[in-house]
Structure 1
Amino acid sequence: MPSALWALALSAFGIGTTEFVIAGLLPQVAADFNISIPQAGNLATVYALGVFVGAPLLIILGTRIPRKGMLMLLMSLFVIGNLVTATASDFNIALLGRLVTSLTHGAFFGIGAILAADLVAPNKRVQAISFMFSGLTVANLVGVPVGTWLSQVMSWRDTFYAITAVGVLGFIGVMMLVPKIANHERPQIKKEFAAFANVRVLLAMGITVFGPAAFFTSITYIAPMMVEIAKFDPASVTWLMVVFGLGLFLGNILGGRYADKALMPLMYLTLGAQAIVLLIFSQTAHSQIMSVACILLMAGFGFATVSPIQKLVMDKARAAGAPTLASAVNIGLFNLGNAIGAWVGGFVISAGLGYAAPNWAGALLSVIALLLALASGAMDRRDGAPSVLQTA
């Protein structure tokens, strides 16, 4: 793989860590600011909503900036946002820091996915995108558990200081390793926005929203769920996040390896399996063994859809004339799904349905994603659309 992909993966590692580590920090954040855990969960919700809004906004504002320069600007925002969160004197400032950080996410992965695909041969584009996204999986395998552990032995603020340092390294990596590649063409904004009325694009983006929302509904509240229901020691949350990260890592390999061969069948399998695992988890959260198994499988099936969904949206959007904007917007939609999931999980807990309730709520969201995928596949078969099994 080109060295530039390592810089993209390192930055993705930092972004993935800051996004997901909050799930292991909620009890400490809530105690520090003297708020409830569902209220602390707003740090995840605000981040996700910021990604959703920031992705298209920054793509539009950055149309005249070379991709390398834009990536460096985004990593600068990442460093500033995490530093604000780490030094926040009250919860509202912490929310502001998360919002600033979130502006990096969608645009970075949207531009990075296009850049990664351009750096390799056409038949290796999904693998290149998957390699960049591997930073997210390594973040959950290493960054999130280490960040959770750091918050327990020191403080949650030190976790964000460490993430800030990773952001600085990411900035340096992009500056030194990413080549100066001129944008092939500036996005035609009116044309790209018009493409969002395309039913195929909308269906693909709907899968993007509800697929990740399913497992984020559960994982956002995994710390209180495992401590209160499964009776794990609070210190065990660290290695439970390792299990979650391992699931994401394996899922990313699965999605990257088989998406080029059977994209839609893979999505049917993973979305359906995710729904089943979450439903089982809702009934077995009291069991430590079953909880570990469900966390692993939930993460694996959930993340196996990420690279395939991104490829699906890019293919549909390219055919409809919106490759650049749709790529970034789709990353935002992943996080809109995360926001929906975090909100739904907090809602069912606040409604008094218990800490296991986010699991069955997530199963329902996964079923919605599966139905949208089935509808998309049926439309392709009915209209004889070009196969998404082929690499663009």
Structure 2
Amino acid sequence: MSATAAPEVPDAPVAARRARLWPMATGTFAIGFGSYVMAGLVPSVSADLDISVSQVGTLVSVYGFTYAISTPLLTLVVGRVPRRVLMAVALALFALASLGTALATTYTAVAVLRGLSAVAAGGFTPTATVLAARFAPPGQRGRAVATVFGGLTTATVLGAPAGNLLGPVLGYRGVYVLVAALALVALASVLLLVRAPAPVPGAEPGPEVAAAGPVGPVGHRRTLPVLVGLTLLVSMLETASALMVQTYSSPLLTDLGGLTGALLSAVLLAYGIAGVAGNVVGGRLADRFGAARSIVLALSVSTVALLLLTPATATPWTALGVFALWGFAAWAMNSPLQNVLLTLAGRHGQLVVALNSSIISLGTGIGALVGGWVVAGPGYASLGVAAAAVMLVAVLVVALLARRPAVAAV
């Protein structure tokens, strides 16, 4: 099927445009699942490859750092490649790398293949995000981006538990065959259903506007890179704050609340399910009340939830409630923040989204590292407060950004 098929007519039904978001959501789910399932496969990989648990952990680091470095570079190199073609190639490469992971017999081979998977993921996720914004009818960009991110959110929730469940049954090799199959399903749906969208009458200027030059007063144009940089800083701070706690959630709940087994799983699952709901609601809030206000609200609620984290461990029910509140708020800010970045970036939207993906990977590493320092020093009881302090800085930065007309108008 040709990548240069005739574009859809401008008055294509809204339902048809929304339907074309689901192949991209399927792709982000396949990629996210292949990324997060490794956390649940640690015992299986360790036993099958005869390597230590710490070496299995480095496979996660290989993926994360490769993604952080390669994604913006890849965006610069393939900037002129049609988006449908780029997504198809990325999904095909991800499927091949996942199948290779299932067949590999050495740690080095698996590490290389995880790196290739990260490169493929970097080619798909930012592209799908930008294209989702282009598909959106007027006033519905937040929901469109949230739909595509919903695949990644769901994969984040299901990845590690699915690895724990399927690892003993299928082995890590069988699980990665499943990942490859999911990527192939996403590839087929992209080839069959996704077309480059024609401009929508009355739609907001999207990230693909190929303007001859920047618009607006010269002073305004000069402040845009600063605004983009500050928005990326918010993304990094929010991710670092979340990962300070998320990385150590299980031992924190066990140490402070004595939660183990089914109770521990229930609290962690509540965080994930609430995160899926928050992702959906966050997109709708951005469309209705503006992205900047939605981000401030989400980050403020996250800050309160983190402050309540330690006292909430007094009972399983309060722990479940606070973790659910935190998960909802933490994921509700994703779609609004993407909207701000896409609007500020203009025709450089895909590069900025790629940079944000790298920033998130950087924030993940920083959060896990700083959280480890807190655990080794003051202890688990101080983890929520420390993370809330970082989140509060993000709230203050967004509050300042919201005063700028370019951000307030999103």
Is the pair's TM-score, using the shorter chain for normalization, greater than 0.5? yes
Aligned residue for 2:195, secondary structure, equals coil
- Equivalent residue letter for 2:29: F
Cα distance in 2 between the residues matched to 1:31 and 1:354:
32
TM superposition score normalised by structure 2: 0.79
- Equivalent residue letter for 1:289: W
- Does residue 206 in structure 1 map to residue 264 in structure 2? no
Question: What aligned pairs does 1:52-71 form with structure 2 within 5 A after superposition?
Answer: 52-71=68-87
Cα distance in 2 between the residues matched to 1:153 and 1:222:
26
Question: What aligned pairs does 1:240-389 form with structure 2 within 5 A after superposition?
Answer: 240-260=267-287, 261-285=289-313, 287-318=315-346, 322-349=348-375, 351=376, 354=379, 358-378=383-403, 380=404, 385-386=405-406, 388-389=408-409
Aligned residue for 1:308, secondary structure, equals helix
TM superposition score normalised by structure 1: 0.82
Cα distance in 1 between the residues matched to 2:67 and 2:243:
15
Among residues 200, 210, 222, which one is paired with 2:249 in the alignment? 222
Cα distance in 1 between the residues matched to 2:165 and 2:61:
23
Spell out, residue by residue over 1:332-375, the C-alpha distance to the aligned partner (whole angstroms, 9 max, x if none).
Answer: 222322232233334444x3655666544432331232222122
Among residues 188, 196, 200, which one is paired with 1:172 in the alignment? 188
Unaligned runs of 5+ in 1: 189-193
Paired position in structure 2 for 1:191: none
- Equivalent residue letter for 2:271: F
Unaligned runs of 5+ in 2: 1-14, 199-206, 213-220
- Equivalent residue letter for 2:64: A
Mark the CA change 1:271 to 1:176 in structure 2 (over 3 Å): closer, same or farther: same
Q: How much does 1:132 deviate?
A: 1.1
- Equivalent residue letter for 2:389: L
Cα distance in 1 between the residues matched to 2:171 and 2:271:
22
Paired position in structure 2 for 1:149: 165
| 111-120 vs 225-234, greater mean Cα deviation | 225-234
Paired position in structure 2 for 1:49: 65
Spell out, residue by residue over 1:16-46, the C-alpha distance to the aligned partner (whole angstroms, 9 max, x if none).
Answer: 2233344545566667766466x75544444
Q: How much does 1:154 deviate?
A: 4.9
| 93-102 vs 204-213, greater mean Cα deviation | 93-102
Preserved CA contact (<8 Å) 1:196 1:202: no
Paired position in structure 1 for 2:90: 74
Spell out, residue by residue over 1:238-280, the C-alpha distance to the aligned partner (whole angstroms, 9 max, x if none).
Answer: 5544323211111112211111213222222211221222232
CA RMSD of aligned residues (A): 3.5
Question: What aligned pairs does 1:130-145 form with structure 2 within 5 A after superposition?
Answer: 130-145=146-161
- Equivalent residue letter for 2:249: I
Preserved CA contact (<8 Å) 2:134 2:197: no
Mark the CA change 1:179 to 1:283 in structure 2 (over 3 Å): closer, same or farther: same
Identity, % of aligned positions:
27
Q: How much does 1:103 deviate?
A: 1.9
- Equivalent residue letter for 1:371: L
- Equivalent residue letter for 2:83: R
Greater relative contact order structure (CA < 8 Å, 6+ sep): 1
Spell out, residue by residue over 1:134-159, the C-alpha distance to the aligned partner (whole angstroms, 9 max, x if none).
Answer: 11233245455333322355545543
Paired position in structure 2 for 1:107: 123
Cα distance in 2 between the residues matched to 1:255 and 1:235:
29
Aligned residue for 1:322, secondary structure, equals helix
- Equivalent residue letter for 2:360: F
Cα distance in 2 between the residues matched to 1:308 and 1:81:
32
Higher Rg of the two aligned structures:
2
Preserved CA contact (<8 Å) 1:68 1:180: yes
Question: What aligned pairs does 1:82-101 form with structure 2 within 5 A after superposition?
Answer: 82-87=98-103, 89=105, 91=107, 93-101=109-117
Q: How much does 1:79 deviate?
A: 1.9
Spell out, residue by residue over 1:286-330, the C-alpha distance to the aligned partner (whole angstroms, 9 max, x if none).
Answer: 643333223212211111110011111112222xx6323112222
Mark the CA change 1:311 to 1:184 in structure 2 (over 3 Å): closer, same or farther: closer
Preserved CA contact (<8 Å) 2:312 2:318: yes
Preserved CA contact (<8 Å) 1:215 1:299: no
Mark the CA change 1:27 to 1:203 in structure 2 (over 3 Å): closer, same or farther: farther
Mark the CA change 1:271 to 1:242 in structure 2 (over 3 Å): closer, same or farther: same
Preserved CA contact (<8 Å) 2:36 2:159: no
Cα distance in 2 between the residues matched to 1:184 and 1:372:
27
